[in-house]
Amino acid sequence: MSSGTQVGIVGAGPAGLMLGHLLHLAGIDSVIVENRSREYVIDRVRAGVLEQGTVDLLCAMGVAGGLNRRGLRHEGVYINFDGCRHRVDMAELTSGKAITVYGQNEVVKDLIDARVETGRPLYFDAQEVSVDALDATRPVIRFSHAGTSHELSCDFVAGCDGFHGVCRPSIPAGVLQIYERLYPFGWLGILAEAAPSCDELVYTYHDRGFALFSMRSTDVTRLYLQVPPDEPIANWSDDAIWDEMLRRMTTSDGWSPNVGRILQKSVTAMRSFVAAPMRHARLFLAGDAAHIVPPTGAKGLNLAAADVVVLASALKEFYETGSDAMLDGYSSICLRRVWKAQRFSWWMTTLLHRLPDETPFDHQRHLADLDYLASSRAAMTSLAEQYVGLPWEISLESLHL
Ligand SMILES: Cc1cc2nc3c(=O)[nH]c(=O)nc-3n(C[C@H](O)[C@H](O)[C@H](O)COP(=O)(O)OP(=O)(O)OC[C@H]3O[C@@H](n4cnc5c(N)ncnc54)[C@H](O)[C@@H]3O)c2cc1C
């Protein structure tokens, strides 16, 4: 079956769904093609920290009903080392900005509901998805769905299909420059049926390795432990996980996470990755398809949002005025923010994890870094302004949402 649209979007993660809705609000047609089921996409537990700008975007897009009701606004964050929690008052240091904890799966669910309400096409369970003719005036997305083969011709293709998608590998060899760094550790993450014992996130540096206390709701805690990158999850019984969490996180004033039934556990390796440029001919990469950050700085989902704001703005300009100046600037505008987020995520990661080859000198320098952060207003301000999110490259007003 042959059909056409203005923008073909591959992937119904945060990037693809946000782009689809921004284009809808600008009166631009799109078709979203996703290879997983609706249930799988909604149930996938991942990010949970939204920058101030991402919250403002979702509000301006009219998809923040659930976020406003159930999102947990955090005006501070704790750095825990040497048995003491040190609070960074982000709101005070950034003239009132904050982060909001609201699960990525909730964001995705709200965006899918909004998409369905628009009546615009969103195919789940698409098979054999491929992109072709990227250099032609009408590139195509091919896929099969419910036994029918589709050929969708588009003005532009948005590759929002994550790190393991098909769009980036479809770009001819030699076009992309790849920048990559792998880390010698991963995160063992759990979701636990336990009320959060602290209202804000607690990042812990401990002799035995990094740990992070966070939450998804008033009843569910999300916790992470530094482990080797290839650690089999089968090595960790629930009791062993809680023993290690408590050992690393408990502070000298008696604070520790509440223990509860573990609902889900997994190990994720960590990498920093950038593919540049983020455009080839009529294909635009956005979100994890173009870049990955280690999750310590909580930037991945927020970078995906920042990319699609630039892309939607550029497409709006193209369809309204015929100018492709902003489409031409898409990659360089996005990469400026991407590299700042890469730098911040790398810095947070190296500050808070123990490296396997750390010397006694490195260890003392590490502790001095943390001591400086906890005692210098300038250092805390730098952390705070990056954690709540640097200003958008494109003002939301320019989108006329
Ligand atoms: C454990 C963990 C914790 C994290 N914590 C945070 C955090 O606190 N804050 C934060 O900002 N970020 C965090 N992140 C990162 C964040 O989850 C990602 O950056 C975000 O999901 C990127 O969105 P995306 O839409 O670009 O990609 P994805 O969410 O990967 O979406 C891509 C979509 O494309 C689909 N797809 C893939 N291949 C194809 C294909 N061939 N055809 C069609 N569809 C396809 C996928 O099924 C998926 O639905 C975390 C990530 C992990 C793994």
DSSP calls for 106-146: HHHHHHHHHHHHHT--EESS-EEEEEE-TTSSS-EEEEEET
User: What is the structure's pLDDT at 393?
Assistant: 87
Q: State the catalytic residue, choosing from 74, 291, 353, 366.
A: 74
Residue 400 annotated among the catalytic residues of the structure: no
User: What is the structure's pLDDT at 58?
Assistant: 97
User: What is the structure's pLDDT at 353?
Assistant: 96
**What element of type H or E holds 86?**
strand 84-89
Q: Identify the bridge partners of residue 186 per DSSP, sorted by sequence position.
A: 227, 269
Q: What ligand 1 atom has the least distance to the C-alpha of 11? A: 34
pTM for the model: 0.95
Q: State the catalytic residue, choosing from 291, 295, 330, 353.
A: 295
12 Cβ contact list (under 8 Å, min separation 6): 32, 34, 36, 41, 108, 112, 122, 124
Residue 74 annotated among the catalytic residues of the structure: yes
List of the chain residues with pLDDT < 50: none
Residue nearest to atom 31 of ligand 1 (CA): 13
3-class secondary structure, 264: strand
Q: State the catalytic residue, choosing from 291, 299, 316, 353.
A: 299
Amino acid at 74: H
Report the pocket of ligand 1 as residue ranges, CB < 6 Å: 10-16, 33-36, 41, 46-49, 104, 126, 129, 160-162, 164-166, 189, 268, 287-288, 295, 298-302, 304
376 alpha carbon – ligand 1 mean position (Å): 35
**Helix, strand, coil shares, percent, the chain, to 5:** 40, 30, 30
Q: What ligand 1 atom has the least distance to the C-alpha of 48? A: 8
CA 196 to CA 207: how far, in whole Å?
24
Residue 196 tokens, joined? 């959060």
363 alpha carbon – ligand 1 mean position (Å): 34
**What element of type H or E holds 226?**
strand 220-227
User: What is the structure's pLDDT at 186?
Assistant: 96
Q: What is the total residue count of the chain?
A: 401
Amino acid at 155: D
User: What is the structure's pLDDT at 394?
Assistant: 85
CA 189 to CA 186: how far, in whole Å?
9
Task: Please tell me what DSSP assigns to residue 199.
Answer: S
Block residue for tokens 């904890």: 101
